[in-house]
Amino acid sequence: MRIVLLGAPGAGKGTAAKMLSDTLNVPHLSAGDLLRENVAGGTDLGIQAKTFMDAGGLVPDDLVIGMMRERLARDDCQTGFILDGFPRTLDQAEALSTVTGIDVVLNIVVPEDVIVKRLSGRRVCPSCGAVFNVDNNPPQTNGVCDSCGGDLIQRDDDQPETIAQRFATYREKTEPLIAFYTRDDLVREIDSSGSVEQTRENTRAALGL
């Protein structure tokens, strides 16, 4: 199954993606992880992207699309995939449509005030990528990753003063994708305002799993 996840920052796309990847046995493709992989691996696309990142700019769509096109061509994607954080813009969605078809788009819906609270409480492990929340998914030891024992941090873009800007960018750039995919009757809404387990059940129900 070929799935695109949409939703505002902090809506729970990463949590849904991991669950679906494990359930369907298909890769979870995060645009951010793919970008970091290319930069760390010194690929041609990664080297080009790094010049923009080092200058504090956004990586151009054509480079992100190139990385995603290469990743989707690998053998493990032939039976399906979960796209998280891509596409983010209409241009990316149009480009994706020339590379592969999409079976379903899951739009994860959460009230904005709930998302703000989630983002403010989110803590991540820079070492292994594990994600916790001080309110509803705290680590066993405060500030310490359960998985690898690393120190947990609050990402810069989860600081309260930056959350409003993230929402504005989402509404301008990414929210129009809902209409783009609705025209092909691909969109299904997932209520993610409750617990993680409730969101999992809502996601499974939307896909008939």
Residues with catalytic function = 13, 88, 122, 155, 166
Q: Answer whether 58's CB lies under 8 Å from 45's CB.
A: no
SS3 50: helix
Helix (H) or strand (E) run with residue 97 in it: helix 90-97
Count of Cβ atoms closer than 10 Å to residue 71 Cβ: 20
How many C-beta atoms surround the C-beta of residue 156 within 10 A? 8
Contacts of 54 (CB under 8 A, 6+ apart): none
Question: Is 144 within 8 Å of 152 (Cβ atoms)?
Answer: yes
Alpha-carbon distances of 103 from 25, 143, 184, rounded to whole Å:
16, 39, 10
